[in-house]
Chains A and B, each alone.
Chain A
Amino acid sequence: MTGTETAQLLTIRGLTKAYPGVIANSDVSFSVAPGEVHALLGENGAGKSTLVKAIYGLVRPDAGEMRMRGEVYAPSEPRAARAAGVAMVFQHFSLFEALNVAENVALGMETPPRQRELSAKIRAVSEAYGLPLDPSRLVGDLSAGERQRVEIIRCLLQDPKLLIMDEPTSVLTPQEVEILFATLRQLSAEGTAILYISHKLEEIRSLCDSATILRRGKVVATCTPREVSARDLAEMMVGTALTPPARAPRTDWAGAPALEVTGLSVASPMPFGTSLKNVGFAVARGEVLGIAGVAGNGQDELLLALSGELKSAPGMVRAAGVDLGDKGPNDRRRAGFVVAPEERLGHAAAPGMSLVENALLSGAIRMGLVRRGFIDWAATRAFAEGVVRDYDVRTPGTHVAARALSGGNLQKFVIGRELSQEPAVIVINQPTWGVDASAAAAIRQVILDRAAAGAAVVVISQDLDELMEIADRFAALNEGRLSVPRPVQGLTMEEIGLMMGGAHGMHVPEIGAAHLLHAEAADAEA
C-alpha cells in the first residue's frame, strides 16, 4: 500500500464484472479523493451503472479490488455500503407517492427517529444545503426536482463520505440544475467526495474536478474536464468523430397547418398523472416543433392525446383541416399520423411478440397489411425486414421477440417502423433515449429528412441539446400547460428554463447564495 492510496477515499483496481454474453466492466481502475467531484462519463451501456452498483453493494464484482481509505472494501449489500459512508441517489426514485416527505425519508433509515425530530432534521439539512423542502408534503404532489431533493436529503442525513449521483440532471430545469450544483459544490468543500455519472458534457466541465471515461466496460481515458473541450470529451466517449445532423433548406409548403391543436384539455388516465390544460400549437409541413419539459409535466399525456389513445373533444386536434379530436389511433393513422411512445417495451412494442408481429402492431393501416380482416403475413414480414435493414437494427432475425433486443436496437426498430410509413404527421416522445451517440445522430437525421420531405414533426424530449439541434420552434410543458412556441434561433438557456417552469418549489425565503436568489426571482417572474 502506497502513501497516495491512503490519501484517497476510494480506490478501485482491476474491477471486472461479466454478465452472460456481455462484459460490463473490464479491468476498471480509478480513485476518488475526499472532497473530489469525480465524473464517470460514458454512453449508455458503457458500464457506468454496473460500476457504481458494485460500489454501492448491489453487484458483486467477479474480480478486482476496492479499498476505502486503504481498507479492503467489499460491500455485500447496500446496507454495508451505507455503513461505510457511501450513499447513492438513483436515476429512478424509490419514493411512495401516497406518503409525505418525512415518512419517505424514515422508510429508508435503519432506525428512524420520531416524525417530529425527523422533520426538524430534514428542515435543518434542507436549509443548510439550499434544498428547500417541506417535510409534511405528499410526495405525489412534488415535482421531479423536488423528489430528487427528498432522495438527496435522505442521503445527507446519513452524513456520507462518498455520494454517488446517477444522471441527476435528467429531470431538472436549468435553474434547478444550478441549485443542485451549488449544493454539490458545498458538499465537496466540506470534504464529501462525489461520484457523478452523466453523459452531459457541459455539466461535467462546469462541476467536476476529474473524469474517468468508460467505453464498452473499459477505462479509455482519464482527464481534467475543465482542460478539454466538450467535443474532445464526446469523441473520447464515443470513440469516433461525430457529425452533427445536416438539414436540407426549408421548403415553404402551402396550405393549412399539417397539425393543429387547440384548447386541448384532457384528464390524465394515470394516478398522480398530469392533466393537460388548454394546450394549443400548430405545426406546418416541413417543420419540427420541439417540446421540452421536466419529466412528469404532461409529456406522456400529450403523446396519448395526439396518438388518439386518450380521446379528446371534437375540434381539439386537426390534421390538414380535418377534425380528429374524438378519433382513435387507427383513424388518426389513416389521416397520416405516426406516433412513437417513450416506453418501448409494453407500449410501443409487445415484449413477447416477434418483430414481424410488432411491425403489424402499428403498420397494419398505413402499410396495407390487412385485407378484409385477414393479415398478409408475407407483406408484414417484408415490412419488418425492411425496417431492420434500413435502420440498422441488430437482431438475429425478424422472428425474435421484441424483449430480446437491446433497448437501443428496439428504439431503432420502433422509430424505423413509424418513420417508414410515409407519414404526414410525426409525434415522437424521447426519440433517442437509451440509444448510443452514433445511432442517436442517425435517428435525428431521419427525423430531419422526414421533415424535409414535408412531414410535420412534434418531438417531445427531455434532452435540451437534442431539441436545440433539430427543432425549428420550441415550447415547454409545465404542469400540463404548454408555453407559447418560440423560434429556436436566439433562444437562451435561461429563457428555456423559465418556459420549463423555472425552479420548482423555490418559495422558501431562507436561501442564501446569490445565484439561488437569482433563480428565485426568476421563478417569481414566471
Chain B
Amino acid sequence: MLKLERRPAPSRLWTAATPVLAVIATMIAGGLLFAALGKDPVEAIRTIFWDPLFGEFASYSRPQLLVKAGPLILIAIGLSLGFKAQVWNIGAEGQYMMGALFGAATGLAFYPTDSVLLFPAMVVMGAFGGFLWAMIPAVLKLRFGTSEILVSLMLVYVAQHIMSAASFGMLKNPEGMGFPGSRNFQHYPAAFNGELIAGTGMHWGGVAALGAVVAAYVLLSRHILGFHIRVAGEAPRAARFAGVSPALLTSVCLGTSGALAGLAGLFEVTGPAGQITTDFASGYGFTAIIVAFLGRLHPVGILLAGLLMALTYIGGELAQLTLNLPSAAVQAFQGMLLFFLLAFDVLANFRIRLAGRARA
C-alpha cells in the first residue's frame, strides 16, 4: 500500500520538477484522449507543441506566441500576488473586459484626436477600469464577509453583458453600417497599440508583462509588502502579529490584480483585437489562473508558464485547423495541465512510501 509521509520542509527539487512532470503527464494523457478521438496522438502533440515554433507556418504563428503570452503573463502576475496571500480573484476575465471598455471608451471619446497624451491616458483608464471592477468583491468581502471567489466570478458575467451592451449601444461604430462593435483602433493611430518591432508580436502589452514580472520579483523578494503578502498566505495569524492589516492586504491584492487584468484588456483591445465586440472576451482571465499555478506563483515561473500556455493555445488552434480536433478537446488538454500540476504537487510536500507491515 502506498503511504504519504509529510516532509519537514517542501522539497526544492520536486517543487521545480513538478511543472515538467505535469507537462509530460499531460502529453501522455492528452495523447490518449486524441487517440480515443481517432487522431494520431504523436502528430497531435507535435502539432500543438512543435509546429507553432518550427513548422510550416511558423513565420505566422511565432509572433502570435508573444501576442498570446503577453496578456496571460500580465494577468497571472497580478493573480499570483493575491493567490500567495490566499486572496482568490477568479474574475480576472471580467476585470480584463472592464479595463478594455474603460480604455477604449476614453480613446473613442476623443476621436479623432492625434494627441500623444491619448494613449497614456487610455492606459491609465484601462488599469483603473480593472481596478474598479476588482474592488467590488474587495469591498463586499470587507464589509459583509462575502466570498471574493463567488463575487469576482459572477462579476465576469455582468462585465460580459456590459460589453455586449457597449458594442450594440454606447460604443457602436457610427460608420459601422449597423454592425455591432466599436470603431477599429487600427484606423485610429493615436490610440493604436501596434507591433513595436515588426514580425515579433511584441507590443506595449508584452513590455508591460515583462515589467510586471520584474516588479513582482523585486516586490516579493526585497520589499516588505511582498513579505507581508507571503506571510499572510503562509500563516494569517502570524501576519496579524507582524502588523499586517488583513483588510488592507485584501484590497491591495484584489486591486493590483484587477488593474493588471485591466491593462491586459486595454492592450488587447487597442492592438490584436482592434475593437470592442460582443465576443471580445477570449478566456485569458481564466487561463491566467492556470498560468499562475503552473508558474508556481513565482514571477519567472509565470513568465515561462505563460509562454507554454500561449504555445498550447496556438498549437491547439493549429490542431483544430489541420487535424479537425474539436475545440473542447483542446480545452480539456489545457485543463489536464492544471490537474496534473496540482496532483504532482503532493510530491513537493509529501514523500511516498511503500507501507510495510509495521505502521506507526
- Of the 9-residue stretches A141-149, A238-246, A328-336, A499-507, which lies at the interface with chain B? A328-336
Q: Do the beta carbons of A347 and B222 come within 8 Å of each other?
A: no
Chain B hits for A339, CB < 8 A: 241
Q: How far is the CB of B83 from chain A (nearest CB, A)?
A: 15
**Nearest 9 pairs between A and B by C-beta?**
A330-B243, A350-B235, A329-B243, A401-B9, A350-B238, A404-B8, A350-B234, A347-B237, A361-B242
Q: Which residues of A contact B223 (CB under 8 A)?
A: 373-375
Residues of B close to A19: CB separation below 8 A: 360
B203 lies within 8 A of chain A by Cβ: no
| A523 CA / B225 CA spacing, docked (Å) | 52
Stretch at the interface among A352-360, A455-463, A512-520: A352-360
Q: Which of B202-255 contact A (CB under 8 A)?
A: 222-225, 227, 230-231, 234-235, 237-243, 245
Q: Out of A62, A350, A352, A377, name the residue touching B358 (CB < 8 Å).
A: A62
Given A350-B231, A374-B224; A364-B10 close (CB under 8 Å): no
Contacts of B239 in A (CB 8 A): 350
In the complex, which of the residues B8, B237, B242 contacts A403, with contact meaning CB atoms closer than 8 Å?
B8
Task: Say whether B359 faces chain A, with CB atoms less than 8 Å apart.
Answer: yes
Find the B residue at minimum CB distance from A404: B8
- In the complex, the answer to whether B10 meets A352 with C-beta atoms within 8 Å is yes
- Residues of A close to B241: CB separation below 8 A: 307, 309, 329, 339, 341, 347-348, 361-362
Given the known interface contacts A347-B238, A350-B234, A400-B9, the answer about A333 and B243 at a Cβ–Cβ threshold of 8 Å is: yes
A84 on the interface (CB 8 Å rule)? no
Question: A352-B235, A401-B8 known; 8 other A-B pairs, CB under 8 Å?
Answer: A60-B360, A347-B241, A350-B238, A352-B234, A357-B231, A362-B242, A364-B224, A375-B222
Q: Can you offer 7 A-B residue contacts whose CB atoms are under 8 A?
A: A19-B360, A346-B235, A350-B238, A353-B231, A357-B230, A361-B242, A375-B222
Select the residue from B8, B225, B235 with max chain A CB neighbours within 10 A.
Answer: B235
Question: Which chain A positions have C-beta within 8 A of B237?
Answer: 343, 346-347
Knowing A373-B225, A374-B223 are in contact, say whether A328-B9 is a contact too (CB < 8 A). Answer: no
Residue of B nearest to A352 (CB): B234
Type the 1/0 row for A399-430, where 1 means its CB is closer than 8 Å to any CB of B. 01101100000000000000000000000000
A18 to chain B, nearest CB (A): 10
Asked if A59 CB lies within 8 Å of chain B CBs, one says yes
In the assembled complex, which residues on chain A have CB atoms less than 8 Å from the CB atom of B227? Answer: 357, 360, 375
Identify which of A60, A341, A347, A365 contacts B359 (C-beta below 8 A).
A60
Q: A60-B358, A346-B235 are in contact. Are A375 and B242 (CB under 8 A)?
A: no
| Shortest Cβ gap from B4 to chain A (Å) | 14
Name the B residues within 8 Å of A348 (CB-CB). 238, 241
A465-500 to B contact mask, C-beta < 8 Å, 1/0:
000000000000000000000000000000000000
A522 to chain B, nearest CB (A): 38
B9 touching A404, Cβ below 8 Å: yes
Q: Mark B4-23, 1 if CB is under 8 A from A, else 0.
A: 00001110000000000000
- Residues of A within 8 Å of B242, CB to CB, are 329, 361-362, 364
Q: What residues of chain B lie closer than 8 Å to A403, measured between beta carbons?
A: 8-9
Q: Verify if A296 is at the interface (C-beta below 8 Å from B).
A: no
**Residues on A close to B: CB < 8 A?**
19, 59-60, 62, 307-309, 328-330, 333, 339, 341, 343, 345-353, 357, 360-362, 364-365, 370, 373-375, 377, 400-401, 403-404
Query: Would you give the shortest CB distance from B160 to chain A, in whole angstroms?
Result: 38
**Chain A residues closer than 8 Å to B240, beta-carbon distance:** 309, 329
Q: How far is the CB of B219 from chain A (nearest CB, A)?
A: 10
Beta-carbon nearest neighbor of A53 in chain B: B360
CB-CB < 8 A to B224: which residues of A?
A: 364, 370, 373-375
Bound together, the chains give a CA A309 to CA B236 distance in angstroms of: 12
Measured in the bound complex, the distance between the Cα atoms of B359 and A59 in whole Å is 8
CA distance A413 to B225 in the complex (A): 24
Q: In chain B, residues 121-139, which have Cβ atoms closer than 8 Å to a Cβ of chain A?
A: none
A374 to B231, CA, bound (A): 16
How far is B234's CA from A243's CA once the two chains are assembled, in angstroms?
40
- Closest chain A CB from B360 CB (angstroms): 7
Considering the chains assembled together, what is the distance between the CA atoms of A330 and B235 in angstroms? 18
Q: CB < 8 Å: which of B9, B230, B235, B360 contacts A347?
A: B235
CB distance from B111 to the nearest CB of A (A): 41
Q: Which residues of B contact A308 (CB under 8 A)?
A: 243
The chain A residue sitting closest to B239, CB to CB, is: A350
Q: How far is the CB of B37 from chain A (nearest CB, A)?
A: 42
Quick one: closest B residue to A376, CB to CB?
A: B222
Nearest residue (CB) in A for B232 is: A350
Q: Please tell me if the beta carbons of A361 and B238 are within 8 angstroms of each other in the complex.
A: yes
Which residues does chain B contribute within 8 Å of A345, judged by CB atoms?
Answer: 235
Q: How far is the CB of B122 from chain A (nearest CB, A)?
A: 29
- CB-CB under 8 A from A351, the residues of chain B are 234-235
* Chain B positions within 8 Å of A360 at CB level: 227
* CB proximity of B217 to chain A, nearest CB, Å: 13
CA distance A345 to B230 in the complex (A): 16
The answer to whether B235 touches A374, judged by C-beta atoms less than 8 angstroms apart, is no
CA distance A343 to B241 in the complex (A): 11
Pick the most buried of A308, A350, A362: most chain B CB atoms within 10 A of its CB: A350
Contact between chains at B234 and A353 (CB < 8 Å): yes
Q: List residues of chain B with CB within 8 A of the CB of A400.
A: 9
Among B225, B227, B235, B238: residue with most chain A CB under 10 A = B238
Q: Which of B8, B10, B241 has the most CB atoms of chain A within a 10 A radius of its CB?
A: B241
CA distance A364 to B226 in the complex (A): 14
| Chain A: minimal CB distance from B305 (Å) | 22
Contact B245 A346 (CB under 8 A): no
Chain A residues, Cβ within 8 Å of B235 = 345-347, 349-353
Within the complex, the shortest CB–CB distance from A182 to chain B, in Å, comes to: 38
Residues of A within 8 A of B360 (CB): 19, 59-60
- B14 CB to nearest chain A CB (Å): 15
Partner pick for A374 among B9, B222, B230, B245, CB 8 A cutoff: B222
Q: Measured between alpha carbons, how far is A62 from B223 in the docked complex, in Å?
A: 50
A346 near B8 with CB under 8 A, answer no
Q: Across the interface, which residues of B come within 8 angstroms of A361, CB to CB?
A: 231, 238, 241-242
Which residue, of B239, B240, B243, B359, has the highest number of chain A Cβ atoms within 10 A?
Answer: B243
What residues of A have a CB within 8 angstroms of the CB of B243 in the complex? 308, 328-330, 333, 365
- Give, as a whole number of angstroms, the nearest-CB distance from B7 to chain A: 9
Say how far B356's CB is from chain A's closest CB, in angstroms.
12
Contacts of A333 in B (CB 8 A): 243
Name the distance in Å between B220's Cβ and chain A's nearest Cβ: 11
- Residues on the B chain within 8 Å of A374, using CB: 222-224
Kindly state the separation between the CA atoms of A370 and B227 in the bound complex, as whole angstroms.
11
Chain A residues near B238 (CB, 8 Å)? 346-350, 361
User: How far is it, in angstroms, between the C-alpha of A352 and the C-alpha of B12 when the chains are bound?
Assistant: 13
Contact partners of A346 in chain B: CB under 8 A: 235, 237-238
A400, B7: Cα distance in complex, Å: 13
| A510 → B minimal CB distance (Å) | 44
Q: Which residues between 260 and 298 of chain B lie within 8 Å of chain A, taking CB atoms?
A: none
Contacts of B10 in A (CB 8 A): 352
For A269, give the chain B residue with the smallest CB separation: B240
Q: Closest residue to A308 on the B side, CB-wise? A: B243
Contacts of A357 in B (CB 8 A): 227, 230-231
Contacts of A364 in B (CB 8 A): 224, 242
A329–B359 Cα distance when bound, in Å, is 45
Per the bound structure, the CA–CA distance linking A19 and B5 in Å amounts to 12
CA distance A510 to B230 in the complex (A): 57
Bound together, the chains give a CA A339 to CA B235 distance in angstroms of: 17
Residue of A nearest to B349 (CB): A352
Nearest B residue (CB) for A400: B9
Q: How far is the CB of B231 from chain A (nearest CB, A)?
A: 5
